């Protein structure tokens, strides 16, 4: 299980070149890959996308690749002769205008702005294998970071899922007492209104009707079933973020139904606590691949 957020970097050096790669990933509905770099050959970009798709299935992945020469053997110094001659002509014209003797000084002229520039030869291209190695290192580190974060999220989800199970068992245990309490309250009310003993037949019928409407057996059974499926999905090797999100929706639906049927303060409190945990679980699941 992987989180969709992570970072990885790689570095490879050889043949007078240094290749550095950084991969960052954040949440995204699908897999979106953006590759940036001043010297990323199309073939290398295609290979990078292929490698990323092989191990990452969801997330916005940004690839930054920088290749630069460190030996300097390919760098040439070039003189802008036209600019140098223009400087010389301007100085000569200025001397004539000022009516002074012009004495060219090539060393002073050499330090005038923008006369020199570094150039690279046309064949100055980074070795593809060097850049590929840096990318491979960064991808390995990214996957490891996503897996570590995913493991932390899974531990948190399991702990909260255990609370959901406990809440469900508490609801199941409390449910019979709700019907009994309603029957007792209804009997007392009927006695007050009728001024004598309650009509047992009518009391039993009303209590049975209430018990049927307030029954949460099916909801608790489905809730525990969804929890089992959630637990199984957490142990899966493939991406399960969307499945977990769907299961949380189903669990939330059962909890809401129980809350709508509740006519008991304790059940209402348990439902509220359960909803709080579910909201925290939803936030975590949004980070999973």
More confident residue, 111 or 160: 160
Crossing angle for the helix pair 128-194 and 217-234, to the nearest 10 degrees: 170
Q: β-strand 31-36 against 59-69: which pairing, if any?
A: parallel
Range 77-85 average pLDDT: 85
Of 228, 68, 237, 217, residue with least CA distance to 162:
228
The pLDDT score that the predictor gives to residue 186 is 56
Shared-domain flag, residues 68 and 79: no
Shared-domain flag, residues 80 and 68: no
Examine residue 172 and state whether it is found in any structural domain, yes or no. yes
Contact 266, 216 (CB under 8 A): no
% of the chain beyond a pLDDT of 70 = 81
Shared-domain flag, residues 192 and 140: no
Range 143-171 average pLDDT: 94
Whether 187 shows a pLDDT value over 70: the answer reads: no
The pLDDT score that the predictor gives to residue 33 is 93
Examine residue 92 and state whether it is found in any structural domain, yes or no. yes
Range 233-262 average pLDDT: 91
Examine residue 1 and state whether it is found in any structural domain, yes or no. no
Q: What residues contact residue 201 under an 8 Å CB cut-off, 6+ apart?
A: none
Range 73-88 average pLDDT: 78
The pLDDT score that the predictor gives to residue 100 is 87
Examine residue 211 and state whether it is found in any structural domain, yes or no. yes
Domain of 113, in residue numbers: 75-120
The pLDDT score that the predictor gives to residue 241 is 92
Shared-domain flag, residues 112 and 135: no
Shared-domain flag, residues 157 and 249: yes
The CATH number that applies at residue 18 is: 3.30.230
Shared-domain flag, residues 197 and 88: no
Shared-domain flag, residues 141 and 247: no
Whether 122 shows a pLDDT value over 60: the answer reads: no
- Cα–Cα distance for residue pair 228/235, rounded to 1 Å: 11
Instruction: Please state the domain count of the chain.
Output: 3
Shared-domain flag, residues 212 and 155: yes
Whether 195 shows a pLDDT value over 60: the answer reads: no
Range 106-114 average pLDDT: 82
More confident residue, 178 or 6: 6
Whether 197 shows a pLDDT value over 60: the answer reads: no
Cα–Cα distances (Å) from 19 to 9, 145, 157, 258, in that order, read: 11, 21, 39, 59
């Amino acid at each position: 299980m992987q989180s969709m957020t992570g970072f990885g970097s790689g570095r490879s050096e050889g043949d007078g070149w240094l290749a550095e790669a950084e991969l960052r990933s954040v949440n995204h509905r699908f897999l979106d890959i953006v590759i940036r770099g001043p010297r990323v050959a199309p073939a290398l970009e295609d290979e990078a996308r292929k490698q990323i798709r092989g191990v990452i299935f969801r997330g916005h992945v940004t690839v930054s690749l920088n290749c630069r020469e460190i030996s300097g053997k390919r760098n040439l110094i070039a003189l802008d002769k036209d600019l140098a001659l223009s400087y010389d002509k301007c100085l000569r014209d200025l001397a004539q205008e000022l009516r002074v003797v012009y004495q060219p000084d090539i060393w002073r002229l050499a330090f005038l702005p923008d006369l020199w520039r570094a150039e690279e030869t046309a064949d100055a291209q980074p070795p593809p294998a060097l850049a590929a190695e840096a990318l491979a290192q960064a991808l390995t580190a990214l996957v490891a970071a996503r897996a570590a974060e995913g493991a932390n999220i899974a531990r948190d989800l399991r702990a909260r899922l255990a609370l959901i199970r406990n809440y469900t068992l508490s609801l199941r245990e409390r449910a019979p007492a709700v019907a009994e309490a309603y029957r007792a309250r209804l009997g007392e009310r009927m006695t007050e209104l009728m001024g004598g003993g309650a009509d047992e037949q009518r009391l039993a019928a009303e209590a049975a009707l209430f018990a049927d409407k307030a029954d949460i057996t099916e909801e608790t059974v489905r809730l525990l079933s969804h929890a089992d499926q959630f637990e199984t999905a957490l142990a899966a090797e493939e991406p399960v973020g969307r499945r977990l999100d769907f299961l949380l929706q189903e669990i939330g639906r059962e909890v809401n139904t129980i809350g709508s049927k509740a006519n008991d303060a304790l059940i209402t409190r348990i439902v509220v606590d359960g909803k709080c945990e579910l909201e925290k679980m939803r936030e975590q699941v949004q980070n999973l691949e």
